[in-house]
Amino acid sequence: PRLFQPLKVGRLELSNRRVMPAMLTNFANPDGTVSERLKSYYVERARGGVGLIIVEITCVAPGGKGSPTQLGIYSDDFIPGLRDLARSVQAQGARIALQLHHAGRQTRAAVEGRQPVAPSPIPCPLLRETPRELAAEEIEGLVEAFAQAARRAQEAGFDAVEFHGAHGYLIAQFLSPYSNKRMDRYGGDREGRMRFALRILDRAKALVGPDFPILFRLSGDEFVEGGLTLDETRPIAQRLAGAGVHILHVSAG
C-alpha cells in the first residue's frame, strides 16, 4: 500500500517509492558525453512514473572505464550534457541520481588503453587480466576523483549521487578480503578495507555539503569463497550510514 506514496529522505523528495536502478546501456557517445539516444531512454522511463532513476555507471577517472561507451564525469566538460539529462528527466516528475563508478580490475586493457588497476595484483576471475597494484598516493588521487565527480553531479543538477561499491568494481575490491590483500592502511582488517570508501564519503561531503543525498550500492553477500558475507557487510553498512550515506542500495554477487 505504500508503494505509490511519497517518500522524503533528507532533502530528496520522491513522488513514489519505485526506483529504477542503474544498468549500463552503452548508449553514451564514444567520448563519454550524453547522447540524444541515452537522454531519450531515460526520459521515456521517467514518463512511466518511476519515482527515482539512478543513471548508469559513470566513470570518475579516464583509467576507470568498464565499457568503451560509458558515461564520463572526470572533467567539467561533461557537466553541460549531464545537466541537460537531469533537467529532461526532472521535467517528467522523476528525481534523478548519478551512479559514480571505477571499474578497477574488472575491465580490460583494450577498453582503458592501459593496464587495469586494483588494490592488489590479483586477476579478475571474470576477465582474467592481472591488474597493477595501486600506490598509496594513487589511491588518494582516486578519492579526489570520486569526490570531484560528486561535485560535478551536484553542479549538473542531479538530485543525488550513488557510489558504486558493489559487484566487484573498485570500491568493492577494496572492501572485500577476496580482492584486497594489502597490508598498508588501505587493507588488512575490515577497518583498513573500509578506509577507501570512508575517505571518499568524507571528501565528497566536504565538497557537496552534508545534506546532499548520497546513495551507496553494496553487495550484501558476494557469493564467493573468501569474499564478503552478510556477517561482514552488516557492520560495514552501519559504518557507511554513520559516515553520512542516506540510502543503502543492497544487492548481491
Residues 6+ apart with CB under 8 A from 51: 7, 14, 15, 16, 17, 18, 19, 94, 95
> Helices 79-90 and 36-47 meet at what angle, rounded to 10?
20
From CA 246, how far away is CA 105, in angstroms rounded?
Answer: 28
Grid coordinates representing 65 are 572505464
Contact yes or no for 100/66 (Cβ under 8 A): no
Catalytic hit among 74, 169, 178, 186: 169
Contact yes or no for 100/158 (Cβ under 8 A): no
Burial class of residue 64 (count of CB atoms within 10 Å of its CB; 0-12, 13-18, 19+): buried
Q: How many residues does the chain have?
A: 253
Residue 178 annotated as catalytic:
no
| Residues designated as active site | 169
